[in-house]
Chain A
Amino acid sequence: MLRLPVFGSKSPTSIEELVMAIAEPGARIVAGGTDLLPNLKHKLHAPTTLVSLDRVAELQRITWDREAGLLRIGAGVTLTQLAEDAEVSKNFSSLSKAAGLVASPLIRNMATIGGNVNLDTRCRYVNQSEFWRSAIGGCLKSEGDVCHVVPKGRSCVAAMSSDCVPVLISLGAHLVQVGPEGRREVAMADYYHSDGIAHTHCQPGEFTAEICVPIAKTPARAAYGKWTVRKSIDFPLISVAMHFALDRDAADATITEARICLGVLAARPKLLKVDALVGLRLNDPTTAELVGELCFKQGKPLDNVPYEAEYRRKMLRVFASRALRDLLA
């Protein structure tokens, strides 16, 4: 069996204690551990202390802040809780669907939404054992200095593989980050950048406390599409999330605002340029085609995860068009 490295652990019970605990050098936050622990077994990180979110009660809640017009999801809420929450499902079906498509039931029981939005980037050349990586001399993200995906590439293109991130970006969500400097809010669309080695703007000593999703003031529809080889367990090989604000709640409504976000390209989720969709009717057959076309044109998968990039690019078109058609029901 692969062994975990030796580390200490702390279980603070309040946000204040948590901030202090992760300020210690070598400390790292752990929630469900479903991403972190396999990476530790693969010797991708070597924290001296793992700080658990588990006993911080205020991070485990889903609250509807009507005053602020926000759904506030505590970072410690599990993906199972999120996927099975009836109110969330009613109001944010794409989010509910994405959370329910992560990995497998057992993993969703442990994994949290805070962990999912901070999921480390993944690459076929990185997420392997230390021995395996030694056979190819490592890479930019591990022990080496080359990229095996983009020959001569100087920056890491490991893939953002979270199911929930593209959905949350399409919904205009923001994060509440807490750290030694206090609380700050950051739009999820701005939280990620293109360096696969450190792909978020999470500051040192900071952690994600809350994920806030604006409650739509106008009629809206949203969808999520994912392709994997298996119907369970797998990380997405392509993912597309879309959100449309509409002039009324009907299949033939006119789109007043559109956001489409793609995952699993490189380190950064890609918010597409979709102005061309505004003013179109949702159920106009050309709308579905255009959605597919926009995804195909702007999404350029790389060979950083299994299955050929060219095929995955074609599938962006198919899955995006289908996701839109699913909204017409």
Chain B
Amino acid sequence: MAGDFTKERGGRIEGEEVQAWQIGKAHRKIDAVDRMRGLLRYTDDLKLPGMLHCKIVRSPYAHAKILSIDSASVLAMPGVHGVVTGKDFPTPYGVIPWTPDENALAVDKALHVGDGVAAIAAIDEDTANAAARALKIEWEVLPAHFDPAESLASADQINPYSRTGNLSKKVMLEFGEVENQLASSSCVIEGDYFFEGSTHGAIEPHCAVANVEPNGVLTVWSATQVSHYLHRELAKVLDLPGNRIRVIQPPLGGAFGGKSEPFDLEFCVAKLALQTGRPVKCLYTREEVFYSHRGRHPMQMHYRTGFDKDGKILAVDAKTLIDGGAYSSFGLVTTYYSGQLLCAPYAFGSYRFDSKRVVTNKPACGPKRGHGSVQPRFAIECQLDKGAAALGIDPIELRRRNFIGHDTKTINEFQIGSNGFMECLERVEASSQWKERYGKMSYGRGLGVAGSTYISGTNYCIYPNDMPQAAVQVSLDRSGRARVFSGANDIGQGSSTMLAVIVSEELGLELADIRVVSADSDLCPVDLGAYSSRITLMVGNACVQAASRLRKQVVAHVASKWQIPAKRVNLVRGQAVDIENPETCMSLAEAFALAEAEDGMLSAVGNYNTPRDRHGEYRGGTIGASPAYSFTAHVAEVDVDVDTGVVQVIKVWVAHDCGRALSPKIVEGQMEGSVYMGFGEALMEQHVVDYNKGGVHTGPSLLDYRMPTFLDTPDIESLIVEEADDQGPYGAKEAGEGPLHPIIPAISNAIFDAVGVRMDKTPFSPPRVLAAIEARRAQEASGELAPHKAALREERR
């Protein structure tokens, strides 16, 4: 548990409460000042001598066969140095090794508007653009399928590598006897939900630069969040040994899951650099970012939930149709996640999910913050709200009654450790004055609640192997400084700062004296990357191990010099101190020099591997299993304009159990960012193509794809709940993705409290909300429904 981390540590007195030196303090991210001052060099800031610029030619058709590409005449244009097409990349790849179903560029046919077909390297962007425009491609346009149900029924296979037609993945799992339990339920709520697709909207567009070094090593700098998977796929597609490739991730301007797999530009710049012998850069336009997508899957969900008369959940039956777009991406995992991550924080008496992911002629969907589980969470939390209303139970109370507990197993056999969900509920209930205000505010005003859980990393790597999930190397030297080498990708979430905080805590160094070298495959140990909220827990554990090894080593030498027992030496505030005699002290630089003189270079590694007893013993039972789970509860307060359907979210209270908060300011940042992102999905974001216009994106720009501005964003009150978990470093769990989930159903449920209508389809746009209000009014007028909040109606403008 939380306090126990101290006993592991050399030099600390067992059982004695040790004041944390860094853990739980407010930290400025280690790159914050450079970032705010505009000094960080992002991938696009890299300029190499003789560098060429690459443009990717994209398909204007949603589904079309490539008959010919006239590369030769473009190659003859002045300033054009290289042209590559799908034929240069015959090996298919895919981030999930079981589903390699895309080529760096389309080989025989393009599968969506914006699919890459050819890439051109030229002396500058204008020349590359002119060549891209001049490139002649002969097409044979094929019928396109945009609607997933229609695509599933069609005999035309969209993705040539698919082995099951347009069915990308199907998962059906049942735990307990769902039909029997539904039959014996006092109340069965049945509902249809639709979650619209949305995209990440990272401010930095994807960018990659490649260069072949004089020694023949291919270096690729890329705005990626998974350097290691990129490294593997580059080796595969380019047919180069991994040791001839170096992948570097420069500082990133956001990712949110949108940079979690290789993209066409990385292969193209690499191939063109190999072909031309010159460095090559490619920067996506904003429009290309929308085509590369890999965002939230649209899901059609049909749910049946059975409750007993006290509100206990006896059965959940979920049927989900997932619109995958043209490629698999992480789709195998998404399909599992759409069902597997639903079984906490509530205990289900029985559970069945039947999820199908379908290929369509649209940009491929993939992982976006809260991968695969934000959509079903919307459905289940609305179902619970409807159940509470039907049974006359307060929605927070109903959730309490179904609390699954800690140190328990979910119905799908995942091992849960710590669980602070009850405290999350209490905190949002108290802070929002729920008891005084829920159901009691005037017509148009409402409160809604929702809960959720999320993983702190996936228990198993994407490709099966027996190596550690995370590894870190830490070295110290006589200057009183630590270097941390980690393959983990800091994508702005602050993971490098988290490693610095841990090393600082263990060694007593100031944060500024720790240099984190990350995500450079030539310098750093392998790490799997920034996805599934894994870094704090996994890399953090490895880091604790490495740093505490060094701590013990340094303490031993200091103790020996002072001729006192090691447990009397503390490393804190830049010094080694005899805790029984504090005037005996030396700077850490001296302490490190002492140790270095005795032992030589001070360096230690740390490794982390996941416990192997957290998952279910059935096919697919490992997918969704995690060392530790975070828990979240939200209350949202809304004001619904009943004449316009405009929903204003006034305030959101978010309580999140992240285990021990290593750096609470950064945790709050993640909580606020999550609320903001989910709020946009709830009210305005729609990543859709126009079925009537050949499948073009309806607005691939930040003007037309509406993400909330500062003025739109509600007040957010972040309430950190710290239920330390045995599995995490100092008890830490995740904070980056979990806090997003409940906001969407919480807003929907608040709209119900406000105006008595159920918004089961995202986004809750003004036309939809107004239509629902008008429909309800008609029902009230006909006497079918009683007026909502009749007693609380006041003259509204």
Contact = CB atoms under 8 A, between A and B. Distances in A.
Contacts, number: 78
Residue of B205, B286, B696, B765 with highest tally of chain A CB at under 10 A:
B696
Given A3-B126, A135-B60, A227 B644 contact: yes
Interface string A1-12: 111001000000
Nearest to A326: B797
Given A1-B285, A129-B287, A311-B770, A229 B704 contact: no
A233 B706 CA distance: 10
B797 A322 contact: yes
Interface string B235-278: 00000000000000000000000000000000000000000000
A294 B659 CA distance: 60
B696 A136 contact: yes
Nearest to B763: A229
A136 B693 contact: yes
Nearest to B283: A1
A229 B697 CA distance: 19
Contact of A231 (B285, B643, B698, B711): B711
A278 B283 CA distance: 59
Given A129-B287, A315-B644, A307 B696 contact: no
A217 interface: no
B696 A230 contact: no
A134 B711 contact: no
Contact of A135 (B126, B696, B699, B765): B696
A184 interface: no
A136 B691 CA distance: 12
B126 A6 contact: yes
Interface residues of B, number: 36
A322 B125 CA distance: 50
A109 interface: no
A91 B281 CA distance: 55
A1 B644 CA distance: 37
A134 B57 CA distance: 13
A6 B124 CA distance: 13
Contact of A131 (B58, B205, B710): B58
B767 interface: yes
Contacts of A311: 766-767, 770
A230 B797 contact: no
B70 interface: no
B14 interface: no
B644 A231 contact: no
Q: Is the interface of B mostly helix, strand, loop or mixed?
A: loop
Q: Is the contact region of chain A dominated by helix, strand, or loop, or is it mixed? A: loop
A185 B113 CA distance: 48
Interface in B101-127: 113, 125-126
A70 B285 CA distance: 46
Given A1-B283, A135-B694, A230-B711, A307 B113 contact: no
Contact of B693 (A134, A148, A232, A308): A148
B480 interface: no
Contacts of A104: 709
Nearest to A103: B703
A306 B113 CA distance: 20
Interface string A305-323: 0111001001100100010
Contact of B644 (A128, A318, A325): A318
B711 A132 contact: no
Contacts of B61: 135
A124 to B, nearest CB: 7
Contacts of A128: 699-701
Nearest to B60: A135
Given A311-B767, A325-B797, A232 B710 contact: yes
A2 B285 contact: yes
A234 interface: yes
Contacts of B797: 322, 325
Nearest to B683: A229
Contacts of A230: 684, 706, 708-709, 711-712
Nearest to B641: A318
Contacts of A1: 125, 205, 283, 285
Contacts of A129: 285, 287, 700
B610 interface: no
B644 A131 contact: no
Interface in B660-703: 684, 693-694, 696-701, 703
Contacts of B129: 3
Given A1-B285, A131-B58, A135-B694, A124 B699 contact: yes
Interface in B547-580: none
Contact of A234 (B125, B285, B706): B706
Interface in A207-247: 227, 229-234
Interface in B272-316: 283, 285-287
B520 to A, nearest CB: 26
A136 B694 contact: yes
Nearest to A148: B693
Interface string A169-183: 000000000000000
A307 B709 contact: no
A325 B696 CA distance: 42
B142 to A, nearest CB: 15
A131 B287 CA distance: 10
A306 B693 contact: no
Contacts of B766: 229, 307, 311
A132 B696 contact: yes
A281 B179 CA distance: 66
Contacts of B701: 128
A238 B765 CA distance: 16
Interface string A117-133: 00000001001110110
Contacts of B712: 230-232
A105 to B, nearest CB: 10
Contacts of B696: 132, 135-136
Contacts of A232: 709-712
Interface string A86-130: 000000000000000000100000000000000000001001110
Contacts of B710: 232
A238 B113 CA distance: 31
A107 to B, nearest CB: 11
B770 A314 contact: yes
B287 A132 contact: yes
Contacts of A231: 709, 711-712
Contact of A134 (B60, B283, B698, B703): B60
A233 B703 contact: yes
A132 B700 contact: yes
Among A2, A131, A307, A315, the one with the most B-chain Cβ atoms within 10 Å of its Cβ is A131
Interface in A255-271: none
A6 to B, nearest CB: 7
B706 A307 contact: no
A59 to B, nearest CB: 28
Contacts of A325: 797
A131 B708 contact: no
A104 B58 CA distance: 32
A314 B766 CA distance: 12
Contacts of A307: 765-767
Interface of A: 1-3, 6, 104, 124, 127-129, 131-132, 134-136, 148, 227, 229-234, 306-308, 311, 314-315, 318, 322, 325
25 contacts: A1-B125, A1-B283, A1-B285, A2-B285, A2-B287, A6-B126, A124-B699, A129-B285, A135-B60, A135-B61, A136-B694, A136-B696, A148-B693, A229-B684, A229-B706, A229-B766, A230-B706, A230-B709, A231-B712, A234-B703, A307-B765, A308-B767, A311-B770, A318-B643, A322-B797
Given A131-B60, A131-B287, A148-B693, 17 more contacts: A1-B125, A1-B283, A2-B287, A6-B126, A129-B287, A131-B58, A132-B287, A132-B700, A135-B113, A136-B696, A229-B765, A232-B710, A233-B703, A234-B703, A234-B706, A315-B644, A322-B797
Q: Closest 9 CB pairs between A and B?
A: A231-B711, A135-B60, A311-B767, A232-B709, A318-B643, A135-B696, A232-B711, A136-B693, A134-B60
